[in-house]
Amino acid sequence: MFMPSPILARRLCLAFLLAAPLAAVAASLGISPVRVELSPAAPTTALTMRNAGDEPTVVQVRAVAWSQQGGEDIYEPTSEVIVSPPIFTLAGNSAQVVRVGLRRAPDPRRELTYRIFLQEVQGPPKPGEVGLQMALRISLPVFVKPVQPAKAELNWRIGREANGALRVVAANPGTMHVQLLGIKLLSSGSAPDASPLASHEAAGYLLPGQSRELRIEPQPGLPAGTTRLRVQANTDAGELSADVTLDPP
Protein backbone atom coordinates (compact mmCIF):
# COMPACT_ATOMS: atom_id res chain seq x y z
CA MET A 1 0.00 0.00 0.00
CA PHE A 2 1.27 3.48 -0.87
CA MET A 3 1.99 5.62 2.22
CA PRO A 4 2.73 9.31 1.58
CA SER A 5 5.76 10.85 3.22
CA PRO A 6 5.13 13.27 6.13
CA ILE A 7 5.96 16.23 3.88
CA LEU A 8 3.61 15.00 1.14
CA ALA A 9 0.88 14.30 3.68
CA ARG A 10 1.12 17.86 5.02
CA ARG A 11 0.93 19.24 1.48
CA LEU A 12 -2.13 17.13 0.69
CA CYS A 13 -3.80 18.29 3.88
CA LEU A 14 -3.04 21.94 3.08
CA ALA A 15 -4.38 21.48 -0.47
CA PHE A 16 -7.64 20.14 0.95
CA LEU A 17 -7.96 23.05 3.38
CA LEU A 18 -7.31 25.55 0.61
CA ALA A 19 -9.78 23.90 -1.75
CA ALA A 20 -12.67 23.72 0.71
CA PRO A 21 -13.21 27.49 1.21
CA LEU A 22 -12.78 28.08 -2.53
CA ALA A 23 -15.50 25.55 -3.32
CA ALA A 24 -17.82 27.29 -0.89
CA VAL A 25 -17.19 30.67 -2.51
CA ALA A 26 -17.50 29.28 -6.03
CA ALA A 27 -20.87 27.76 -5.16
CA SER A 28 -22.31 31.22 -4.29
CA LEU A 29 -21.10 33.19 -7.34
CA GLY A 30 -21.93 32.39 -10.96
CA ILE A 31 -21.60 34.04 -14.37
CA SER A 32 -23.36 33.55 -17.69
CA PRO A 33 -22.52 33.18 -20.46
CA VAL A 34 -19.08 31.65 -19.83
CA ARG A 35 -17.72 32.73 -23.21
CA VAL A 36 -18.07 36.08 -24.97
CA GLU A 37 -18.45 36.22 -28.74
CA LEU A 38 -18.44 39.58 -30.54
CA SER A 39 -18.66 40.32 -34.26
CA PRO A 40 -18.85 43.24 -36.70
CA ALA A 41 -22.64 43.00 -36.51
CA ALA A 42 -22.72 42.61 -32.69
CA PRO A 43 -19.80 44.52 -31.09
CA THR A 44 -21.45 44.60 -27.65
CA THR A 45 -22.98 42.05 -25.30
CA ALA A 46 -23.90 41.59 -21.64
CA LEU A 47 -22.88 39.20 -18.87
CA THR A 48 -24.95 38.41 -15.80
CA MET A 49 -23.21 37.69 -12.50
CA ARG A 50 -25.27 36.19 -9.68
CA ASN A 51 -24.65 35.93 -5.97
CA ALA A 52 -26.58 33.00 -4.49
CA GLY A 53 -25.15 33.62 -1.03
CA ASP A 54 -26.53 35.81 1.70
CA GLU A 55 -23.49 38.09 2.08
CA PRO A 56 -22.64 40.95 -0.30
CA THR A 57 -19.39 40.83 -2.22
CA VAL A 58 -17.33 43.37 -4.17
CA VAL A 59 -16.28 42.36 -7.70
CA GLN A 60 -13.67 44.05 -9.91
CA VAL A 61 -13.74 43.50 -13.67
CA ARG A 62 -10.96 44.04 -16.20
CA ALA A 63 -10.25 43.07 -19.80
CA VAL A 64 -6.83 42.06 -21.18
CA ALA A 65 -5.45 41.22 -24.61
CA TRP A 66 -4.85 37.47 -24.92
CA SER A 67 -2.18 35.84 -27.05
CA GLN A 68 -0.09 32.67 -26.89
CA GLN A 69 3.59 31.95 -27.30
CA GLY A 70 5.29 28.59 -26.96
CA GLY A 71 2.09 27.03 -25.64
CA GLU A 72 1.76 29.60 -22.85
CA ASP A 73 -0.98 32.22 -22.44
CA ILE A 74 0.14 35.85 -22.45
CA TYR A 75 -2.02 38.65 -21.05
CA GLU A 76 -1.40 42.35 -21.67
CA PRO A 77 -3.32 45.49 -20.70
CA THR A 78 -5.71 46.73 -23.38
CA SER A 79 -8.15 49.56 -23.99
CA GLU A 80 -9.72 47.81 -26.97
CA VAL A 81 -12.42 46.13 -24.84
CA ILE A 82 -14.47 48.08 -22.32
CA VAL A 83 -16.38 46.57 -19.40
CA SER A 84 -18.99 48.43 -17.37
CA PRO A 85 -19.20 48.70 -14.47
CA PRO A 86 -15.51 47.98 -13.75
CA ILE A 87 -16.24 47.48 -10.05
CA PHE A 88 -19.49 46.87 -8.19
CA THR A 89 -20.99 45.50 -4.99
CA LEU A 90 -23.15 42.45 -5.53
CA ALA A 91 -25.72 42.10 -2.76
CA GLY A 92 -26.70 38.69 -1.45
CA ASN A 93 -29.25 36.78 -3.57
CA SER A 94 -29.02 39.31 -6.40
CA ALA A 95 -27.62 39.74 -9.91
CA GLN A 96 -25.55 42.34 -11.75
CA VAL A 97 -25.36 42.97 -15.49
CA VAL A 98 -21.87 43.67 -16.85
CA ARG A 99 -21.74 45.17 -20.34
CA VAL A 100 -18.88 44.34 -22.70
CA GLY A 101 -18.04 46.37 -25.80
CA LEU A 102 -15.38 46.44 -28.51
CA ARG A 103 -13.71 49.84 -28.91
CA ARG A 104 -11.89 49.11 -32.17
CA ALA A 105 -12.86 47.80 -35.59
CA PRO A 106 -12.74 44.01 -36.00
CA ASP A 107 -9.77 42.69 -37.95
CA PRO A 108 -10.56 42.09 -41.64
CA ARG A 109 -9.20 38.52 -41.71
CA ARG A 110 -8.15 37.31 -38.25
CA GLU A 111 -10.07 36.67 -35.06
CA LEU A 112 -9.20 38.96 -32.13
CA THR A 113 -8.85 37.37 -28.70
CA TYR A 114 -9.16 38.82 -25.21
CA ARG A 115 -10.00 37.67 -21.72
CA ILE A 116 -12.19 39.17 -19.00
CA PHE A 117 -11.23 38.63 -15.35
CA LEU A 118 -13.86 39.02 -12.63
CA GLN A 119 -12.07 39.21 -9.30
CA GLU A 120 -13.73 39.08 -5.91
CA VAL A 121 -12.32 41.79 -3.63
CA GLN A 122 -12.01 40.52 -0.08
CA GLY A 123 -12.87 42.92 2.73
CA PRO A 124 -11.31 42.86 6.20
CA PRO A 125 -12.17 39.80 8.33
CA LYS A 126 -15.12 40.15 10.67
CA PRO A 127 -14.46 40.35 14.42
CA GLY A 128 -13.79 36.87 15.76
CA GLU A 129 -13.55 35.34 12.28
CA VAL A 130 -10.80 32.74 11.90
CA GLY A 131 -9.60 30.56 9.03
CA LEU A 132 -8.57 31.16 5.45
CA GLN A 133 -10.21 33.69 3.14
CA MET A 134 -10.21 32.79 -0.55
CA ALA A 135 -10.96 35.32 -3.29
CA LEU A 136 -12.67 33.92 -6.37
CA ARG A 137 -11.37 34.87 -9.83
CA ILE A 138 -13.31 33.97 -12.97
CA SER A 139 -11.69 34.14 -16.41
CA LEU A 140 -13.81 34.33 -19.58
CA PRO A 141 -12.50 34.15 -23.15
CA VAL A 142 -13.57 36.88 -25.57
CA PHE A 143 -13.55 36.14 -29.31
CA VAL A 144 -14.15 38.81 -31.97
CA LYS A 145 -15.01 37.41 -35.39
CA PRO A 146 -13.17 38.94 -38.36
CA VAL A 147 -14.95 40.76 -41.16
CA GLN A 148 -14.26 37.96 -43.63
CA PRO A 149 -15.49 34.40 -42.97
CA ALA A 150 -13.11 32.28 -40.87
CA LYS A 151 -13.06 28.62 -39.98
CA ALA A 152 -11.28 26.33 -37.54
CA GLU A 153 -8.35 24.28 -38.86
CA LEU A 154 -5.96 21.76 -37.34
CA ASN A 155 -2.76 20.25 -38.69
CA TRP A 156 -1.04 17.29 -37.03
CA ARG A 157 2.39 15.74 -36.68
CA ILE A 158 2.98 12.46 -34.84
CA GLY A 159 6.35 11.03 -33.91
CA ARG A 160 7.43 8.01 -31.86
CA GLU A 161 9.60 8.26 -28.79
CA ALA A 162 12.09 5.62 -27.70
CA ASN A 163 9.81 4.40 -24.88
CA GLY A 164 6.88 3.80 -27.25
CA ALA A 165 4.98 6.99 -26.42
CA LEU A 166 3.70 9.21 -29.21
CA ARG A 167 4.55 12.88 -29.52
CA VAL A 168 1.48 14.55 -31.03
CA VAL A 169 1.71 18.16 -32.20
CA ALA A 170 -1.52 20.02 -32.98
CA ALA A 171 -1.11 23.24 -34.98
CA ASN A 172 -3.75 25.84 -35.80
CA PRO A 173 -2.95 27.44 -39.18
CA GLY A 174 -6.38 29.04 -39.40
CA THR A 175 -7.67 32.52 -38.68
CA MET A 176 -9.80 31.65 -35.63
CA HIS A 177 -9.33 29.72 -32.39
CA VAL A 178 -9.85 26.00 -31.84
CA GLN A 179 -10.82 24.64 -28.43
CA LEU A 180 -9.55 21.08 -28.05
CA LEU A 181 -11.83 18.95 -25.89
CA GLY A 182 -10.17 15.59 -26.51
CA ILE A 183 -8.49 13.52 -29.20
CA LYS A 184 -8.53 9.87 -30.28
CA LEU A 185 -5.93 7.98 -32.29
CA LEU A 186 -7.23 5.17 -34.53
CA SER A 187 -5.75 2.96 -37.21
CA SER A 188 -5.83 4.74 -40.55
CA GLY A 189 -8.86 3.71 -42.58
CA SER A 190 -10.79 2.34 -39.61
CA ALA A 191 -14.46 3.13 -39.09
CA PRO A 192 -15.23 6.35 -37.18
CA ASP A 193 -16.80 4.34 -34.35
CA ALA A 194 -13.87 1.90 -34.03
CA SER A 195 -12.13 1.50 -30.69
CA PRO A 196 -9.24 3.98 -30.42
CA LEU A 197 -5.64 2.88 -30.01
CA ALA A 198 -5.17 5.77 -27.58
CA SER A 199 -7.01 8.85 -26.36
CA HIS A 200 -6.21 12.06 -24.52
CA GLU A 201 -8.37 14.65 -22.74
CA ALA A 202 -6.60 17.56 -24.45
CA ALA A 203 -8.64 20.42 -23.03
CA GLY A 204 -7.39 23.86 -23.99
CA TYR A 205 -7.48 26.63 -26.58
CA LEU A 206 -5.26 26.94 -29.64
CA LEU A 207 -5.25 30.52 -30.93
CA PRO A 208 -4.53 31.26 -34.62
CA GLY A 209 -0.96 30.46 -35.62
CA GLN A 210 -0.22 28.50 -32.42
CA SER A 211 0.63 24.86 -31.70
CA ARG A 212 0.52 22.49 -28.75
CA GLU A 213 2.46 19.29 -28.05
CA LEU A 214 0.97 16.27 -26.29
CA ARG A 215 2.48 12.98 -25.17
CA ILE A 216 0.21 9.97 -25.53
CA GLU A 217 1.03 6.40 -24.56
CA PRO A 218 -1.00 3.87 -26.55
CA GLN A 219 -1.85 0.74 -24.58
CA PRO A 220 -0.60 -1.91 -25.13
CA GLY A 221 1.14 -0.24 -28.08
CA LEU A 222 0.77 0.37 -31.80
CA PRO A 223 0.32 -2.65 -34.05
CA ALA A 224 3.52 -3.71 -35.78
CA GLY A 225 4.13 -1.92 -39.06
CA THR A 226 1.86 1.05 -38.26
CA THR A 227 2.90 4.03 -40.38
CA ARG A 228 -0.33 6.06 -40.46
CA LEU A 229 -2.90 6.99 -37.86
CA ARG A 230 -6.23 8.75 -37.96
CA VAL A 231 -6.65 11.62 -35.51
CA GLN A 232 -10.15 12.47 -34.39
CA ALA A 233 -10.32 15.73 -32.45
CA ASN A 234 -13.39 16.79 -30.52
CA THR A 235 -13.50 20.60 -30.66
CA ASP A 236 -15.90 23.47 -30.08
CA ALA A 237 -16.28 23.60 -33.88
CA GLY A 238 -17.30 19.94 -34.05
CA GLU A 239 -15.22 16.87 -34.86
CA LEU A 240 -12.10 17.47 -36.97
CA SER A 241 -10.30 14.39 -38.30
CA ALA A 242 -7.25 13.72 -40.44
CA ASP A 243 -5.03 10.81 -41.50
CA VAL A 244 -1.43 11.44 -40.48
CA THR A 245 1.79 9.70 -41.57
CA LEU A 246 4.07 9.05 -38.61
CA ASP A 247 7.41 10.83 -38.63
CA PRO A 248 10.33 8.48 -39.18
CA PRO A 249 12.05 7.35 -35.96
DSSP 130-141: -S-----EEEEE
pLDDT for residue 6 is more than 70? no
Which pLDDT belongs to residue 27? Answer: 47
Q: In this structure, what CATH number is given to the domain that contains residue 33? A: 2.60.40.10
Q: What is the pLDDT of residue 125?
A: 65
182 with 137, same domain: the answer is no
Four-CA torsion 74, 109, 243, 210, nearest 10 degrees: -10
Residue 1: is its pLDDT beyond 60?
no
Give the pLDDT mean for 131-151: 88
Total domains in the chain come to 2
pLDDT at 249 over 70: yes
Q: How confident is the model at residue 91 (pLDDT cuts 50, 70, 90)?
A: very high
Report the alpha-carbon distance of residue 241 to residue 191 in Å, rounded. Answer: 12
Query: Is the separation of the CB atoms in 134 and 82 below 8 Å?
Result: no
Q: What is the pLDDT of residue 126?
A: 64
In this structure, the answer to whether residues 139 and 120 fall within a common structural domain is yes
- 63 belongs to a structural domain: yes
The pLDDT tens digits of the residues spanning 175-205 come to 999 999 999 999 988 777 788 999 999 889 9
64 and 119 belong to one structural domain: yes
d(CA 53, CA 67): 35
Query: Which residue segment(s) compose the domain that 48 sits in?
Result: 29-124+133-144
Distance of CA 170 to the CA centre of its chain: 16
Same domain, 231 and 162: yes
The predicted pLDDT at position 26 comes to 44
Residue at 14 is within a domain: no
